[in-house]
């Protein structure tokens, strides 16, 4: 209970006055025995008891009256929520902002069911004159979609329509955008001409769902009621956040390595997680791994394809039942068999004699002859030919062999090519000068070059004693993993007469793949954006080494090109995020042909030139995770033609897998800008003040009436009663 005038409560002290008066009047009479009155006293004892009770009642009524009068003057009140006060309040506009993102499917949909129950309960409290709207908080797709019903984003008094829409809706695999949804709710209420406005936010308080940088400084213009549907306990969430693959060998049974990335978003280590590799719906590999808290680990699978060529659909999965949030337990990617890897060879030292040419051995290792069925296609140009290439998108790997320098514009094109997922192989030679390469190529180099180290010349008698040989290799890398098998030691017998010395910079994104016997780096890799740059510190001709005429040369060069050219086998170019527009840039929107995309459930999405904007390529926005295929549909009604090169996979955003929650105080600060613990602007329930002083004054009136009746003599009451009875009986006479 609260009071509007609490100072008037001092009047409660008046309640002591009747008690004081009663004690003063309570005098002890002097006892004098008088025989004539004994009989009268004994006859009046019963009457005395009743008089005593009446006196106590009078005392109680007078005290109550004096207590209730100052209480009423202090104007006490109670705060009432919905219920009895609901029928009296003014019309309200209510916008339900509902988090329907991937995290709301936690616990096999239990969180979403709890959210629906809470929303239905709030809808039951709405009165016929109220209006409501429904705004979903999952991140909006990159283009408008038919599944997003804009009619729900308008205030309506048809609550039944909102109920039906909510019953038919399920959590989407998209990420959360609470900030954007709250802004939409504020815009809806800003246009409403209603005396009361409020936003009801239904959320699991996922931290990643609130973009703090986009929050308005003045709040959202309405009180926000938060309905927290987060479970009391949330188990550590595991997710497959990525997967890549590389072709290790070609032939009738090509070998592919598939590496999955798994992250533990919880604060507890998880051991013995079963991870599976699925190819075309069949599990072909499985293994157990431990995932420390808040860490990412990788699991590698090696699979040999046997049978049909072309497109295969792969997925790295966490076994069912590993955690309570299964939406992110799989990562999908397409694998293309026998797709050609396109390599652009840049010759920095061309020769008229074939076997003395810089690329003589290297080109034949990649593509031995015209009749060869190698998956690697090569094209050789000089420095001028490379400068004439305006676009490098048609290639998967660029090899710079003994190139002295390149124009700045060409270097910028190569850097963009690598950043977009291409592979770059930089090969040493006599034209390489440390200062020139460091300034010309810059960040494309895995490490800066110091100088050329000359160990011996080939024709010197003691050359075999002074040269170095290939030494340690990274056995975990796809290029050198095969050298751990029997016979792999042949690489350590290759002599090297000269090689590039590198600066010992601590580049975090550099990785030494192979070293010489004296510890110098032989092959070093650096990740640049989505692609990789690899530097070979010796030559691919016989100027500095005998490597080109040794057996391991063919194996290393082919596996290295396969590794760098992983973009030709899909890679990041064939995987997209849910809600991200997928465009088919190679298909002109003005062509007569139509494209038909088939989603993981087999539903068909027809893309026509008329569905694309002028000058824009054909495309659409996928809303489900899984493997997608594309076919070409002739306008004349011919047979659809599969386009396996356009097949792609769609995966959820990794940010939605982090179920870390905001506390109530943090949410209050972010939504209202108030200090922690201050709930200003953050309404828990709509409340109404109910005054009690009128009831107290009515009770005072009743008490005074009762006191008057009790204080009147009995004879007077009896006389008054007979008078009233007589008057009521006289008309009948």
Q: Which residues contact 203 (CB under 8 A, 6 or more apart)?
A: 97, 99, 137, 178, 209, 226, 227, 228, 229, 230
Query: In which band, very low, low, confident or very high, does the pLDDT at 678 lie, cut at 50, 70 and 90?
Result: very low
State yes or no: pLDDT of 244 exceeds 80: yes
State yes or no: pLDDT of 342 exceeds 70: yes
Query: How far is 195 from 213, CA to CA, in rounded Å?
Result: 31
The dotted CATH code for 238-337 is 2.60.40.10
State yes or no: pLDDT of 631 exceeds 70: yes
Ranked by mean pLDDT, which of 126-135, 486-495, 677-686 comes out on top? 126-135
State yes or no: pLDDT of 642 exceeds 50: yes
Which 8-state DSSP code applies to residue 716?
H
pLDDT at site 370: 57
Query: How far is 494 from 313, CA to CA, in rounded Å?
Result: 40
Region 517-546: mean pLDDT is 93
DSSP letters spanning 44-82: THHHHHHHHHHHHHHHHHHHHHHHHHHHHHT-EEEEE-T
Burial class (CB in 10 A: 0-12, 13-18, 19+), 285: middle
Query: Among candidates 499, 494, 491, which has minimal Cα distance to 455?
Result: 499
pLDDT at site 553: 92
Query: In which band, very low, low, confident or very high, does the pLDDT at 316 lie, cut at 50, 70 and 90?
Result: very high
State yes or no: pLDDT of 732 exceeds 60: no
Ranked by mean pLDDT, which of 14-23, 44-53, 203-212 comes out on top? 203-212
Which region among 441-445, 617-621, 659-663 has the lowest average model confidence (pLDDT)? 617-621
CATH fold of 341-570, please?
Rossmann fold (3.40.50)
Query: In which band, very low, low, confident or very high, does the pLDDT at 32 lie, cut at 50, 70 and 90?
Result: low
Region 497-503: mean pLDDT is 94
DSSP letters spanning 554-621: HHHHHHHHHHHTGGGG-GGGGEEETTPPEEETTS-TTSS-EEEEE-TT--EEEE-GGGSPTTPPEEE-
State yes or no: pLDDT of 168 exceeds 60: yes
The per-residue pLDDT for range 603-612, each reduced to its tens digit, is: 888 887 655 5
The per-residue pLDDT for range 69-79, each reduced to its tens digit, is: 888 787 787 76
State yes or no: pLDDT of 231 exceeds 50: yes
Region 325-342: mean pLDDT is 85
Query: In which band, very low, low, confident or very high, does the pLDDT at 589 lie, cut at 50, 70 and 90?
Result: very low
Region 89-104: mean pLDDT is 89
Q: Which residues contact 589 (CB under 8 A, 6 or more apart)?
A: 609, 612, 615, 616, 617, 618
State yes or no: pLDDT of 120 exceeds 60: yes
pLDDT at site 211: 83
Which 8-state DSSP code applies to residue 102?
G
CATH fold of 578-651, please?
Immunoglobulin-like (2.60.40)
- H or E segment at 203? strand 196-203
Instruction: Report yes or no: 470 and 496 within 8 Å, Cβ to Cβ.
Output: yes
First to last CA, the chain: 58
**Percentage of the chain lying above the pLDDT 90 cut:** 34
**In the predicted model, what is the mean pLDDT of the chain?**
81
State yes or no: pLDDT of 571 exceeds 50: no
Tokens of 33: 């025995």
Place of tokens 């100027």: 543
How distant is the alpha carbon of residue 452 from its chain centre? 49
Instruction: Report yes or no: 640 and 606 within 8 Å, Cβ to Cβ.
Output: no
Region 443-450: mean pLDDT is 92
pTM over 0.85: no
Instruction: Report yes or no: 206 and 659 within 8 Å, Cβ to Cβ.
Output: yes
pLDDT at site 609: 67
Counts of helices then strands in the chain (DSSP H, E): 15, 33
The per-residue pLDDT for range 127-150, each reduced to its tens digit, is: 888 999 999 998 766 433 333 455
Region 502-530: mean pLDDT is 87
Tokens of 158: 């048809």
State yes or no: pLDDT of 80 exceeds 70: no
Q: How far is CA 240 from CA 290, 317, 333, 570, in A?
A: 14, 7, 12, 18
Tokens of 439: 């300034």
Classify 535 as helix, strand or coil. Answer: strand
* Residues of each domain in the chain carrying CATH 2.60.40.10: 238-337
Region 75-98: mean pLDDT is 70
pLDDT at site 299: 94
Query: Among candidates 576, 488, 503, which has minimal Cα distance to 535?
Result: 503
Strand ranges (DSSP E) for 412-491? 423-427, 449-454, 468-473
pLDDT at site 40: 60
* Residues of each domain in the chain carrying CATH 3.40.50.410: 86-232+660-686
Instruction: Report yes or no: 171 and 204 within 8 Å, Cβ to Cβ.
Output: no
The per-residue pLDDT for range 257-304, each reduced to its tens digit, is: 899 999 999 899 999 999 999 999 999 999 999 999 999 999 999 998
Q: Helix 45-73 and helix 35-43: axis angle, to 10°?
A: 60
State yes or no: pLDDT of 677 exceeds 60: no
Which region among 170-179, 672-681, 716-725 has the lowest average model confidence (pLDDT)? 672-681
Query: How far is 269 from 289, CA to CA, in rounded Å?
Result: 11
pLDDT at site 430: 94
Q: How far is CA 57 from CA 18, 53, 54, 227, 543, in A?
A: 12, 6, 5, 52, 122
Higher pLDDT, 74 or 545: 545
The dotted CATH code for 86-232+660-686 is 3.40.50.410
Which 8-state DSSP code applies to residue 156?
B
**Percentage of the chain lying above the pLDDT 70 cut:** 79
Query: In which band, very low, low, confident or very high, does the pLDDT at 235 lie, cut at 50, 70 and 90?
Result: confident
pLDDT at site 675: 52
State yes or no: pLDDT of 381 exceeds 60: yes
Query: In which band, very low, low, confident or very high, does the pLDDT at 234 lie, cut at 50, 70 and 90?
Result: confident
Query: Among candidates 648, 641, 524, which has minimal Cα distance to 576?
Result: 648
Query: Among candidates 256, 240, 418, 397, which has minimal Cα distance to 334?
Result: 256
* Entry field: residues in the chain: 733
Query: Among candidates 140, 146, 138, 130, which has minimal Cα distance to 95?
Result: 130
Region 231-256: mean pLDDT is 82
Query: Among candidates 267, 172, 243, which has minimal Cα distance to 570?
Result: 243
Place of tokens 């590999």: 285
Ranked by mean pLDDT, which of 104-108, 283-287, 319-323 comes out on top? 283-287
Query: Among candidates 692, 696, 685, which has minimal Cα distance to 83?
Result: 685
Region 324-350: mean pLDDT is 87
């Amino acid at each position: 209970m609260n009071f509007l005038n609490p100072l008037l409560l001092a009047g409660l002290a008046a309640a002591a006055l009747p008690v004081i008066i009663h004690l003063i009047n309570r005098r002890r009479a002097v006892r004098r025995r008088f025989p004539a009155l004994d009989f009268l006293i004994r006859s009046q004892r019963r009457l005395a008891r009743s008089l005593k009770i009446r006196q106590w009642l009078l005392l109680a009524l007078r005290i109550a009256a004096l207590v209730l009068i100052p209480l009423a003057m202090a104007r006490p009140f109670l705060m009432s929520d919905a219920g009895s006060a609901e029928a009296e309040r003014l019309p309200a506009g209510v916008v339900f902002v509902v988090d329907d993102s991937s995290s709301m499917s936690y616990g096999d949909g239990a969180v979403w069911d709890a959210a629906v129950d809470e929303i239905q309960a709030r809808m039951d409290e709405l009165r016929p004159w109220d209006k409501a709207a429904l705004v979903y908080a999952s991140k909006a797709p990159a283009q408008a979609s038919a599944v997003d019903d804009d009619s729900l984003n308008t205030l309506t008094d048809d609550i039944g329509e909102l109920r039906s829409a909510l019953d038919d809706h399920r959590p989407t695999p998209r990420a959360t955008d609470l900030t954007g949804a709250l802004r939409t709710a504020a815009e809806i209420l800003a246009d409403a001409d209603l005396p009361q406005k409020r936003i009801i936010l239904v959320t699991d308080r996922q931290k990643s769902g609130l973009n703090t940088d986009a929050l308005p400084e003045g709040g959202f213009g309405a009180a926000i009621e938060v309905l927290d549907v987060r479970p009391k306990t949330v188990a550590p969430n595991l997710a497959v956040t990525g997967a890549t693959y590389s072709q290790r060998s070609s032939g009738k049974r090509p070998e592919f390595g598939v590496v999955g990335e798994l992250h533990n978003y919880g604060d507890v280590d998880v051991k013995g997680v079963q991870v599976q590799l699925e190819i075309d719906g069949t599990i072909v590999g499985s293994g157990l791994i431990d995932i420390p808290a808040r860490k990412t680990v990788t699991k590698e699978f090696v699979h040999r394809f046997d049978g049909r060529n072309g497109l295969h659909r792969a997925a790295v999965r966490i076994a069912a039942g590993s955690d309570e949030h299964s939406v992110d337990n799989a990562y999908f990617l397409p694998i293309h068999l026998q797709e050609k890897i396109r390599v652009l060879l840049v010759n920095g030292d061309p020769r008229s004699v074939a076997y003395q040419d810089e690329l003589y051995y290297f080109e034949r290792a990649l593509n031995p002859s015209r009749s060869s069925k190698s998956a690697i296609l090569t094209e050789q140009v000089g420095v001028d030919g490379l400068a004439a290439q305006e676009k490098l998108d048609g290639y998967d790997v660029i090899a710079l062999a003994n190139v002295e320098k390149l124009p700045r514009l060409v270097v910028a094109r190569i850097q963009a090519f690598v950043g977009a997922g291409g592979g770059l192989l930089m090969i040493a030679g006599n034209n390489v000068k440390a200062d020139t390469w460091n300034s010309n190529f810059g960040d494309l180099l895995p490490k800066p070059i110091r100088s050329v180290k000359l160990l011996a010349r080939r024709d010197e008698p003691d050359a075999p004693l002074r040269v170095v040989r290939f030494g340690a290799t990274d056995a975990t890398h796809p290029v050198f993993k095969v050298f751990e098998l029997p016979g792999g030691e042949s690489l350590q017998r290759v002599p090297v007469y000269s090689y590039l010395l590198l600066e010992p910079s601590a580049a975090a994104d550099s990785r030494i793949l192979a070293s010489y016997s004296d510890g110098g780096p032989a092959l070093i890799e650096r990740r640049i954006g989505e692609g990789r740059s690899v530097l070979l510190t010796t030559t691919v001709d016989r100027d500095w080494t005998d490597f080109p005429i040794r057996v391991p040369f063919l194996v290393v060069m082919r596996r290295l090109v396969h590794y760098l050219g992983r973009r030709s086998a899909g890679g990041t170019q064939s995987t997209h995020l849910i809600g991200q527009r997928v465009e088919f840039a190679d298909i002109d929107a003005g062509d007569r042909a139509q494209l038909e995309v088939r989603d993981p459930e087999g539903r068909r999405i027809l893309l026509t030139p008329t569905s694309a904007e002028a000058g824009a390529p054909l495309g659409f926005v996928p809303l489900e995770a899984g493997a997608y295929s594309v076919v070409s549909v002739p306008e004349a009604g011919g047979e659809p033609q599969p386009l396996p090169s356009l097949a792609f996979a769609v995966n959820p955003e990794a940010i939605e897998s982090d179920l870390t929650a905001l506390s109530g105080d943090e949410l209050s600060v972010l939504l209202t800008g108030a200090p922690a613990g201050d709930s200003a602007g953050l309404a828990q329930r709509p409340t109404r003040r109910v005054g009690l002083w009128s009831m107290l004054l009515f009770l005072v009136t009743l008490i005074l009436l009762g006191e008057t009746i009790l204080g009147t003599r009995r004879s007077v009451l009896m006389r008054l009663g007979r008078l009233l009875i007589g008057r009521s009986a006289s008309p009948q006479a």
